[in-house]
Amino acid sequence: MDLMSKLTISASMLLTGFVIVFSVLVFLIFVIWLLGKTITGAQNAATNRKKFKVQQSVTTPQETTEPVKTEEKVEKPVASSDTSEEIIAVISAAVYTMYGSKEKVRIKSIKKSSSRSAWANAGVLRNTRPF
């Protein structure tokens, strides 16, 4: 085998390798793009179904046999004398946001925690732990 035939075989092998590698890369890019479109379409369909159910429940009038209450009795949580009304409102809003309107949640009392914050307590426990 002479040098020219070796170079020809090497060049053809190199070119074949490049073509195969880039073909597989283009195929993988297409597959990942197709999966992304499929998943995005499924997520959008689920979101649209939820929106449609919400719109349908809002637009369809529901018959009620009970009279509509105009005033509700709201119990104020028991708080210490140094707790302001704004703090009670903020805590109540946070609890309401966390549980939502479907569950009945009632705050019985609001008490101030210990003098140290949770981070300070964690630091004390970490630094005073025995070896």
Q: How confident is the model at residue 6 (pLDDT cuts 50, 70, 90)?
A: very high
Among 36, 110, 47, smallest CA distance to 80 is for 110
**71 located within any domain:** no
**130 located within any domain:** no
The whole model's pTM is what?
0.38
Write down the pLDDT at residue 110. Answer: 79
Amino acid at site 27:
F
Shared-domain flag, residues 84 and 38: no
Q: Which residues of 13-28 are buried (b: 16+ CB within 10 A; e: fewer)?
A: eeeeeeeeeeeeeeee
For residue 4, give Cα distances in angstroms to 8, 14, 15, 18, 20.
Answer: 6, 15, 16, 21, 24
Give residues with Cβ within 8 angstroms of 33, minimum separation 6: none
Structural domain range at position 89: 78-121
User: Structure tokens of 79?
Assistant: 């708080």
pLDDT tens, 69-91? Answer: 545 455 555 555 667 788 888 88
Shared-domain flag, residues 52 and 82: no
Q: Give the single-character DSSP code of 50.
A: H
Q: How many domains does the chain have?
A: 2
**Under DSSP, is residue 12 helix (H, G, I), strand (E, B) or coil?**
helix
Query: Other C-beta atoms within 10 Å of 96: how many?
Result: 13
